[in-house]
Structure 1
Amino acid sequence: MSSQGRIDVIVGTSNFGYPDNFWGNSESHIIQAFQLMKKHGSKKLDTAKAYFGSEAKLGAMKAGTDFDLDLDTKWLGGYDRADDANTRSYMLSSARQSIETLAVPQVDVFYLHAPVLNTPLEESLAGINDAHKAGLFRRLGLSNYPPTEVQRLYDVAKNNGFVLPTVYQGNYSAVARKPEADLFPVLRKLGISFVAYSPIAGGFLTKTREQIESGGTRFSPDQMFGIYHKLYVKDSYLSALEEWGKIAEEEQISKAELAYRWVVYHSILRKQYGDGIVFGSSSLSQMEETLLACNRGPLSEKAVEAIEQIWEKVKDEAGVDNYQTIFSGN
């Protein structure tokens, strides 16, 4: 598979607001990050209510006005445990709060970060529709929704004359391709574009087996609710890391670049459908390396075939996404 032209490359900001990390401590670095984005053809930032301090940092930096960058954000959705979470009035007031915090008149995509389970769907969608009619966002997005729930939400929205979802953000990489079989047919049928998060499998594809097994990383069972341990620390996946490293060596590129370029140029994603990729970084140099990688074009045919063989070896143990790993163990 090879896409027609480069898909959208979006910069994730999940760590921009933390006060004790690189981005949180230096506004000058964030300004340089915005400049790097424009230099390399990326114009959008992805944030969320769940990303501690990220919306506030982007708003304080006037990212959407002074730097003319498009912004996407997310309601907590199924992650929200407030008593009135996801009610009609709550969805509208929550959207207004994000817009005020981000210091913009509207965002491009406003996502539901995870399936809403504690409120009738019609009520949540009514509030979302109110926010759309108020001009707070241009497009509705979904994230971490199973295919059946995507269809159900779409049908409820359509039957009630509400704004329809047109973007989906989900877990996808060279070793996380389950959505190809069940989710993508639904998205294509409904005209919903796809934005891939975790294109390097949460960093798994940049590691060695020894690094993973030595512990002390996000892949340890006691880190981050065990999400990444459950998704990737499996025999077939650990065995695949050595093969992944060999492919990168033969291509004379980093393991991270191999992962990014596969998603951008050889996956099921297509520019014609408005698909994209969102990535995070911990430094300016890492951000620029990723932006450059996404612009370097397709991999060799030999590399693509070898990556396909890796998927064949791991697919039977593949999980789905972060949300379903937490709440259903899949």
Structure 2
Amino acid sequence: MEDLVKHIRLRDLDVSRIGLGAMGMSHGYTGAGTDDEQSVRTIHRALELGVTLIDTAEVYGPYTNEELVGRALKDRRDQVVLATKFGMISHTGRPEGPDSSPASIRTAVEGSLKRLDTDRIDLYYQHRVDPGTPIEETVGALAELVAEGKIRHIGLSEAGPGTIRRAHAVHPVTAVQSEYSLFTRDPEARVLPVLRELNIGFVPFSPLGRGFLTGTIRSTEQFDSSDFRADNPRFSGENFQHNLHLADQVAAVAAEIGATPGQVALAWLLAQGNDIAPIPGTRRVARVEENTAADAVTLTDEHLARLSALPPAAGDTHNEAGMRMMER
């Protein structure tokens, strides 16, 4: 089948410019983990549509999402750029906080390789910056794994400019993954300029505002007790109403051009540069078809200007504990 998704390069790594985030198949969202076969079908459909970048992490579940992705990619491993993350789980007995010590990384990578049923990880991200381990030590350990062939490329997630520069000085960083969408514009001022200076690719997660930008969320009563959005500031009280109004404005643009609100949100992201590969998450075949079709949506200059001029979303992107782990 002819690929429906164009490709870009994250530094020197070729990927589809729309990827697939697998977290919600197993973790964090209403219904996660209830239908693994549906999730496997969704991954297979994404591959049929030309998606090559599949993203997971050891903490999703924990561990079960990597196992699911590994099953889905059996006999299809060479079709994908497989990305996973380490550091949110300590393998050295730290009582709390992220752990990116070399010893913890060694244990983490072996576990991920086994669960993913593969001999190499294409893109291995530090999930959050570890204030207890100098980034130079972390990247030094990752560079050893590159030399051993266990990982191919190094990534960072939610890292600030200083950390990115220090990491890149030890070993080239291929990609940085951070939250970026019409709702979350934070990377534009400080992070994106550094990435472009250093020729590092950018992988936005939650490009649909955790579902808000699809236009399908109208009430927090849609979430069950396992859904992390239930205590997310953006989905609370007055913030929710403010953000609902913003989502409705995205939906208005979608109605004008005959697309879905989610496709408009993704098309806006793609228009921000040819070094950006968002990873919208879903466990449904219909949604992955909708999301990949965003690659063919063209926004006029007027539409792009209207969308870019939307006021910021109200509320932090994470709860207080989550915000403390992000460098912005």
Q: What TM-score, normalized to structure 1?
A: 0.79
Q: 1:253 aligns with which of 256, 259, 272?
A: 259
Q: Deviations over 1:160-188 (max 9, x none)?
A: xxx33121111111232221111111111
Residue matched to 1:10: 19
Question: Tell me, what secondary structure is at the counterpart of 2:54?
Answer: strand
Q: Deviations over 1:71-99 (max 9, x none)?
A: 1100125x648525332222122112211
Kindly provide the amino acid, as one letter, of the partner of residue 164 in structure 1.
P
Give, in angstroms, the shift of residue 143 of structure 1: 0.5
- Work out whether residues 64 and 103 of structure 1, in 8 Å CA contact, stay in contact via their aligned partners in 2: no
Q: 2:86 aligns with which of 75, 83, 88?
A: 75
Residue matched to 1:87: 101
Name structure 2 gaps, 5 residues minimum: 1-5, 9-16
Give, in angstroms, the shift of residue 17 of structure 1: 3.8
Q: Deviations over 1:11-48 (max 9, x none)?
A: 11113346x94765343x34533432233221221110
Greater fraction helix:
1
The runs of 4+ residues in structure 1 deviating greater than 6 Å are: 320-324
Question: Structure 2 vs 1, CA of residues 287 and 131 (structure 1 numbering), >3 Å: closer, same or farther?
Answer: same
Q: Distance in 2 between matches of 1:229 and 1:303?
A: 26
Q: 1:97 aligns with which of 111, 123, 127?
A: 111
- Work out whether residues 84 and 124 of structure 2, in 8 Å CA contact, stay in contact via their aligned partners in 1: yes
Question: Structure 2 vs 1, CA of residues 288 and 138 (structure 1 numbering), >3 Å: closer, same or farther?
Answer: same
Name structure 1 gaps, 5 residues minimum: 158-162
- Work out whether residues 179 and 320 of structure 1, in 8 Å CA contact, stay in contact via their aligned partners in 2: no
Residue matched to 2:303: 303
Question: Tell me, what secondary structure is at the counterpart of 2:165?
Answer: helix
Residue matched to 2:42: 33
Residue matched to 2:166: 152
- Work out whether residues 23 and 281 of structure 2, in 8 Å CA contact, stay in contact via their aligned partners in 1: yes
Question: Tell me, what secondary structure is at the counterpart of 1:245?
Answer: helix
- Work out whether residues 233 and 319 of structure 2, in 8 Å CA contact, stay in contact via their aligned partners in 1: yes
Q: Distance in 2 between matches of 1:216 and 1:61?
A: 28
Residue matched to 1:160: none
Task: Give yes or no for the alignment of 1:191 onto 2:205.
Answer: no
Give, in angstroms, the shift of residue 105 of structure 1: 1.0
Question: Structure 2 vs 1, CA of residues 188 and 245 (structure 1 numbering), >3 Å: closer, same or farther?
Answer: same
What pairs up with 1:1-330 in 2 under 5 angstroms? 7=8, 8-17=17-26, 21=31, 25-27=35-37, 29-52=38-61, 53-63=64-74, 65=76, 68-77=79-88, 80=90, 83=93, 85-155=99-169, 157=170, 163-207=171-215, 211-212=218-219, 217=223, 223=229, 225-226=231-232, 228-229=234-235, 233=239, 237-264=243-270, 266-267=271-272, 269-270=273-274, 273=275, 275-292=276-293, 294-310=294-310, 313-314=311-312, 326-327=323-324
Deviation larger for 99-108 or 88-97: 88-97
Q: Distance in 1 between matches of 2:268 and 2:185?
A: 12
Q: Distance in 1 between matches of 2:262 and 2:325?
A: 29
Deviation larger for 139-148 or 253-262: 253-262
Q: Distance in 2 between matches of 1:149 and 1:304?
A: 31
Question: Tell me, what secondary structure is at the counterpart of 1:276?
Answer: coil
Question: Tell me, what secondary structure is at the counterpart of 2:174?
Answer: strand
Question: Structure 2 vs 1, CA of residues 6 and 304 (structure 1 numbering), >3 Å: closer, same or farther?
Answer: farther
Give, in angstroms, the shift of residue 192 of structure 1: 0.8
Q: Distance in 2 between matches of 1:144 and 1:324?
A: 14
Give, in angstroms, the shift of residue 64 of structure 1: 6.6
Number of equivalenced pairs: 306
Give, in angstroms, the shift of residue 223 of structure 1: 4.2
Q: Deviations over 1:132-152 (max 9, x none)?
A: 222111110000112222223
Question: Tell me, what secondary structure is at the counterpart of 2:18?
Answer: strand
Q: Deviations over 1:194-221 (max 9, x none)?
A: 0111111111223489x24x65549xx9
Question: Structure 2 vs 1, CA of residues 234 and 181 (structure 1 numbering), >3 Å: closer, same or farther?
Answer: farther
Q: Distance in 2 between matches of 1:70 and 1:323?
A: 33
C-alpha RMSD of matched pairs (Å): 3.5
Kindly provide the amino acid, as one letter, of the partner of residue 288 in structure 1.
E
Question: Structure 2 vs 1, CA of residues 171 and 100 (structure 1 numbering), >3 Å: closer, same or farther?
Answer: same
Deviation larger for 236-245 or 174-183: 236-245
Question: Tell me, what secondary structure is at the counterpart of 2:177?
Answer: strand
- Work out whether residues 155 and 176 of structure 2, in 8 Å CA contact, stay in contact via their aligned partners in 1: yes
Q: Percent identity?
A: 20
Q: What TM-score, normalized to structure 2?
A: 0.79
